[in-house]
Amino acid sequence: MNVAIVDYKSGNISSVINSFKEVAKDKVKIEITSDINKIKSSDKVVLPGQGSFKSCTDALKGINGLVETLNEFAINNKKPLLGICVGLQMFADTGYEEVETKGLGWISGKVTKIDNQNGKYKLPHIGWNEINILKDSRIFKDIKDKSHMYFVHSYEFVPNDKNIVSATTNYSSNHVCAVEKDNIFGTQFHPEKSDKIGLKIIDNFINL
């Protein structure tokens, strides 16, 4: 089996690469690539994202055929895909960071700034926070409710369909921090920075 981590030059993804390699050992081939043919032929895809919604979507669209290939992979062929941080946010129809920007439109909804209650809560939301697991998501196998994950974000994904939400976290209000829709998974937190529990999430995704 091979897992492709999409490298579209959206910030430093070395910790994502290292943690996937650590979990995969020699059992699974981990490939870091923006090559469309390699992505098409892979069994699973990881879409990381650091920076703003606009910079990430612009970078994806800047690689010829990449968005179409990801659509074909996740939507038409229904192969497993994991979005991390802005990688999850890009599933939305629209993001409102910097300017209004069109997302991938895989999960209907929008990405808006966290309401920090007039400065009562610091943005970005950085650090460890508890997650509330709402449904039996396959990537949360053997992970306890109220586990702590590592976050860095100022914007949140607000999906129209609440049934796809697999976990939330509370920071100023309840935010979506994990989704599952058929073969598409996403986490707002960084599993690659969330110690052993985060590695277990990566292991669950690899073993789907």
Q: Which residues are part of the catalytic machinery?
A: 85, 190, 192
Instruction: Spell out the SS3 assignment of the chain.
Output: CEEEEECCCCCCCHHHHHHHHHHHCCCCEEEEECCHHHHHHCCEEEECCCCCHHHHHHHHHCCCCHHHHHHHHHHHCCCCEEEECHHHHCCCCEECCCCCEECCCCCCEEEEECCCCCCCCCCCEEEEEEEEECCCCHHHCCCCCCCEEEEEECEEEEECCHHHEEEEEEECEEEEEEEEECCEEEECCCHHHCHHHHHHHHHHHHCC
